[in-house]
Structure 1
Amino acid sequence: MDKTSGFKIRGIYKSLRVRFFVIVFLTGLISCLVMHSVILDSYENRAVNVKSTEAQTQLRILANHLIVSNYLQDTSSEVINAELDMLANLYDGRVIVINDDLKVVKDTYNISQGKTIISEEVVNCLKTGSKGTVSKYDQANGYIEIVTPIIESEDIEEEDVSVSGKVSEVVRGVLLTSVSTETIAVTLKILSRRAQTLEIMIILIILLFAAWVSIMLLRPFDRITTAINDVKAGYTDEPIVGPNYLETEQIINAFNALLRRMKVLDDSRQEFVSNVSHELKTPITSMKVLADSLLAQEDVPNEVYREFMTDIGAEIDREDKIINDLLALVKMDKKASGLTITSVDVVNLTEIVLKRLRPIARKHNIELTLESKRAITAEIDEVKISLVIMNLVENAIKYNKDEGWVKVELDADHQFFYVKVIDSGYGIPEESLDHIYERFYRVDKSRSREIGGTGLGLSIARNAVLMHRGTIDVSSVVDEGTTFTVKIPLTSTLALTK
């Protein structure tokens, strides 16, 4: 068998349609076979019970005749012998009359006459005083063995008048009878053949039903597969719709949610590419204009030349900042496995970051303060968390009013540490709060360009916080100020798994 055939066979075994077909077919087949066996067994048991009851009634009557005619002592009665032979012929069996000495008085087969019979059933019937008829079905040999006591009734003679008139029953012998069940066996064979014919018809119906069920039940899955293939091939990007089962609806809903997510990502990617192209092109255009202006002039004074070159240098710095922020953002898009986790003194880390930013704050006449309520040590990526604090504080300084202030608060509980950056700046309009983490989004574009913002700082900060399984929240009032609250776990799950 080649590999292609092997793959096809494994594919058939893995097919849900084939499994549905096999399950439905086997369920019907097993049910049919069980029903066949139960019906035949029920008939056999019922037929045996009826025949056994009928024979027991005849034998009890015959046992009374034997006592009345004193047959156990004198077997010459032609009437009794005729009754015994007739009963044996009626049931296509054998009747043996045994006296209380276990001697065979009469055998309709004329084989065991005069012999001693020692049988557990016969002995129990005679010696233990068992006066009930006992029957046993021998299915293997095809007969019913019936042990019937021959009971003689005697009056009890007692001097006490209170017990006079009572009757005593004494077992004088036993009728050991074999009743043939050949007619039952023949009937069972006929019923079995008819049942087999009916079973074949039912199995064919079950076969067709199983095939139909396996096709109909999985038809919605075929529609889903076709729709997904159309989306994959690019023929459509519309959500999957249509009546289905609860299970397929869950699959459709999950796929449609994924499709919507992919559309959002695709739109975001296109917008991101457009924004990057625009942001990178703007400084280049400015530099091109400045350079062309210099080239178009003759005998340019040194002061003008220096001014133009200063502007070109500023545009180069702006271009470099955009590229560095983009590279940082790409790194942030990686999974948390990219974190370098160490035990860090958060208060000391924040002091170092604020020390770097104080010259910028002094330049803008901004008061920058740090308030820590307790010592905090956390398992974090020191570089990325310092980037979070730096971006938040730098934004608070740049988008602040003259003579304003920025306050950084640190706190912690038994699970998380908190960084609050509070400023007295211009604030963020409510309609912009949901967009501030989008790449290249600016609340006030003119002011952002003046201070050299790229629109990537908050996106970088948010990604770094998410990599640490933390959260970042914002609240703001226009012309009053903004508060960013960062919550980071003290213990990193990444560190625990190492």
Structure 2
Amino acid sequence: MVIILGLRIKFVSIRWKLVSTYLLLIILTLLLIHTFISESIRINYVNEKKVHLLSQGNIIADRVANHNKNSNDMDALLKGYSKEIKSRIMIVNKKGIVLNDAYDVLKGMKINHWEIQESLKGKSIAREHQLKGYGKTLYVTVPIVLNNKVYGAIFISSSLEKVYGNVNKIMRNYLLLAILCIVITGFISFIFAHVIATPIEKLTEGIKKMHQGKLEQKVEIIGNDELTNLAQAFNTMSTKLFQVDQQRKEFVGNVSHELRTPLSAMKLLSESLIYEENVPIKTYREFLKDIASEVDRLDKIIQSLLALVDIDKGKLELNYEVTYVNYLLEKLIHSLKPIAVQKKISMNFVYSEKIQIGLDRVKIQQALTNIIHNAIKYTPEGGIVEVFLYSENGAAVVEIKDNGIGIPKESLPYIYERFYRVDKARSRSTGGTGLGLSISKQIIELHQGEVEVISEVGKGTTFYVRLPKNMNVYS
């Protein structure tokens, strides 16, 4: 049973489907060609025979019409022509009686063939018949005319078996050639089918391995066609999936660590309060303040995850309202300044004009907060973070510039990817999860804006956030 199923799978594979399709097409083509050629050759040969016998019949009719010799001489004449054209020749009078027969069989007998009747009316006829015991036979009749008067007819009976035999011989040769063509076509089609099917089989095998969890699969296909493009797309996809899976695993580990740290701290603080007696009120306040801080940290992580879920599901709706971007940035910088002061970082806000556009104030504030907070986070003590606001090409531009540690060139294409962190050890120590920039970018793009980054390691980073001024807040 297993063997039968294996054979069945083998012979319904794309390789065999392609081979059978090619063979079916070539066989149908050869059959059509066979029918056309055989019929064309037969018609051509028979028509040549008809023309030849009609021509000979006319010659004989002229000789007979002007012949003044006796019957014996006429018999000799007919037998000579009969031998020459390899056909039976008879002379028939107006009553249909055979006057002379090259075979000396029907002489004196009356024959009423339709061809003879038509010739006695002055017509030349050539017609094919199937005679029992003789096979294919051609009847040709030509009227004997003298002084525009019909005196009789020349009747020629010629076998077509040799003609059909020649046609059959030609078609047998054609059949051998056709079989050779089928064999060659089958061999070539099998090679082409193998060339086409092998990449597909490799892709299938790669997909099966990916289904088993082995995501880093590569399919090597040489060429420059659609299958090669498909393989390249598959390789890109597998690489991307592998990276995402690795980032997911790292993220799970990082988030687990981030969640465990505040939970452990809260547990330790709360147990200290529970099990210690006569704890001063001041200590209670300090411990509860630390617990609240850890709760805020947990809430920040959870809010980031929920924001990503909403963006993915298309649930994130923008509540547009006309907003002064200058005021929004001033308020945002004011809220972040205490963090900068702790690191002795100087924060400056510079603008050349007041800009008022339609946007979702809360979400844009969240996006800009992530970027500015990162600038503060990754700028060493005594550094500078500057925020500029200006107009450029019909857009409001928020430029966030720092002189911090910078981002390596090879990491720039990936900084907006979820869970991606340039320096994992540093990010963990600063509490990063690799979600902030991803959320910021998607919020900005939902506003039909764009974000660009320029950075150099050791010199700093500059983010450019461009938001369209002509956004219709009522759409």
What interval of TM-score do these two structures reach, taking the shorter chain for normalisation? Answer: 0.5 to 0.7
Give the CA deviation at 1:473.
Answer: 0.6
Alignment of 1:293-312 (within 5 A): 301-312=280-291
Q: In the alignment, residue 281 of structure 1 is paired with which amino acid?
A: R
Contact 2:137 2:157 in 1 (8 A): yes
User: Equivalent of 1:360, from 335, 359, 364?
Assistant: 335
Equivalences, count: 441
Query: Deviations along 1:433-461, whole A, 9 cap, x unmatched?
Result: 615435474779889978x8765322210
Query: Deviations along 1:99-150, whole A, 9 cap, x unmatched?
Result: xxx887966564369x998749965x7xxxxxxxx77453678554556576
Give the CA deviation at 1:262.
Answer: 1.6
Paired with 1:94 and 1:175, the residues of 2 have a C-alpha distance of 10
Paired with 2:11 and 2:450, the residues of 1 have a C-alpha distance of 48
User: Equivalent of 1:431, from 396, 400, 408?
Assistant: 408
Q: In the alignment, residue 22 of structure 1 is paired with which amino acid?
A: S
Paired with 2:180 and 2:283, the residues of 1 have a C-alpha distance of 102
DSSP-derived class of the 2:390 partner: strand
Contact 2:452 2:465 in 1 (8 A): yes
Alignment of 1:108-119 (within 5 A): 110-111=109-110, 119=118
Mapped pair 1:486 → 2:466? yes
1:128 matched residue in structure 2? none
Mapped pair 1:41 → 2:21? no
2:157 matched residue in structure 1? 179
DSSP-derived class of the 1:51 partner: helix
User: Equivalent of 2:73, from 55, 69, 79?
Assistant: 79
User: Equivalent of 2:388, from 407, 417, 420?
Assistant: 407
Alignment of 1:122-133 (within 5 A): 123=122
User: Equivalent of 1:261, from 240, 252, 261?
Assistant: 240
Q: Percent identity?
A: 26
Q: In the alignment, residue 128 of structure 2 is paired with which amino acid?
A: D
Q: In the alignment, residue 422 of structure 1 is paired with which amino acid?
A: E
Contact 2:325 2:357 in 1 (8 A): no
Paired with 2:258 and 2:393, the residues of 1 have a C-alpha distance of 39
- Mark the CA change 1:243 to 1:96 in structure 2 (over 3 Å): closer, same or farther: same
TM-score by length of 1: 0.65
Mapped pair 1:319 → 2:319? no
Contact 2:128 2:139 in 1 (8 A): yes
Alignment of 1:59-74 (within 5 A): 59-70=57-68
Give the CA deviation at 1:267.
Answer: 0.9
Paired with 1:447 and 1:61, the residues of 2 have a C-alpha distance of 113
1:138 matched residue in structure 2? 128
Contact 1:148 1:175 in 2 (8 A): yes
Paired with 1:58 and 1:94, the residues of 2 have a C-alpha distance of 10
Give the CA deviation at 1:265.
Answer: 1.0
Give the CA deviation at 1:33.
Answer: 2.8
Moved more, 273-282 or 207-216: 207-216
Give the CA deviation at 1:276.
Answer: 1.1
Paired with 1:15 and 1:396, the residues of 2 have a C-alpha distance of 58
Moved more, 460-469 or 482-491: 482-491
- Mark the CA change 1:27 to 1:323 in structure 2 (over 3 Å): closer, same or farther: closer
Q: In the alignment, residue 66 of structure 1 is paired with which amino acid?
A: V
Q: In the alignment, residue 464 of structure 2 is paired with which amino acid?
A: F
1:3 matched residue in structure 2? none
2:103 matched residue in structure 1? none
Contact 1:361 1:368 in 2 (8 A): no
Contact 1:40 1:188 in 2 (8 A): no
Alignment of 1:80-479 (within 5 A): 80-84=74-78, 95=90, 110-111=109-110, 119=118, 123=122, 136-138=126-128, 142-144=136-138, 146=140, 176-184=154-162, 187=165, 191=169, 216=194, 218-219=197-198, 221-234=200-213, 237-241=216-220, 248-287=227-266, 301-332=280-311, 334-335=312-313, 337-340=314-317, 344-345=320-321, 347-348=322-323, 350=325, 353-354=328-329, 356-357=331-332, 359-360=334-335, 366=347, 368=349, 376=357, 384-392=363-371, 405-409=386-390, 413=394, 418-423=395-400, 425-427=402-404, 429-431=406-408, 434=412, 436-437=415-416, 439=419, 441=421, 456-466=435-445, 471-476=450-455
Contact 1:369 1:408 in 2 (8 A): yes
DSSP-derived class of the 1:240 partner: coil
Q: In the alignment, residue 110 of structure 2 is paired with which amino acid?
A: I
Give the CA deviation at 1:264.
Answer: 0.6
Give the CA deviation at 1:230.
Answer: 3.8
DSSP-derived class of the 1:472 partner: strand
Paired with 1:410 and 1:84, the residues of 2 have a C-alpha distance of 114
- Mark the CA change 1:274 to 1:290 in structure 2 (over 3 Å): closer, same or farther: same
Q: In the alignment, residue 462 of structure 2 is paired with which amino acid?
A: T
Give the CA deviation at 1:281.
Answer: 2.9
Contact 1:280 1:319 in 2 (8 A): yes
Q: In the alignment, residue 48 of structure 1 is paired with which amino acid?
A: V
Q: In the alignment, residue 138 of structure 1 is paired with which amino acid?
A: E
Moved more, 204-213 or 39-48: 204-213
Give the CA deviation at 1:272.
Answer: 0.9
Paired with 1:25 and 1:448, the residues of 2 have a C-alpha distance of 65
Contact 1:399 1:426 in 2 (8 A): no
Contact 2:454 2:463 in 1 (8 A): yes
Paired with 1:445 and 1:226, the residues of 2 have a C-alpha distance of 38
Paired with 2:62 and 2:179, the residues of 1 have a C-alpha distance of 53
- Mark the CA change 1:456 to 1:121 in structure 2 (over 3 Å): closer, same or farther: farther
Give the CA deviation at 1:256.
Answer: 2.3
Q: In the alignment, residue 26 of structure 1 is paired with which amino acid?
A: L
Give the CA deviation at 1:269.
Answer: 0.7
Give the CA deviation at 1:462.
Answer: 1.6
- Mark the CA change 1:372 to 1:172 in structure 2 (over 3 Å): closer, same or farther: farther
Q: In the alignment, residue 406 of structure 2 is paired with which amino acid?
A: P
Contact 1:64 1:150 in 2 (8 A): yes
Paired with 1:239 and 1:455, the residues of 2 have a C-alpha distance of 28
Task: Provide the alpha-carbon RMSD of the alignment.
Answer: 5.4
Contact 1:471 1:486 in 2 (8 A): yes
Q: In the alignment, residue 335 of structure 2 is paired with which amino acid?
A: I
Contact 2:38 2:171 in 1 (8 A): no
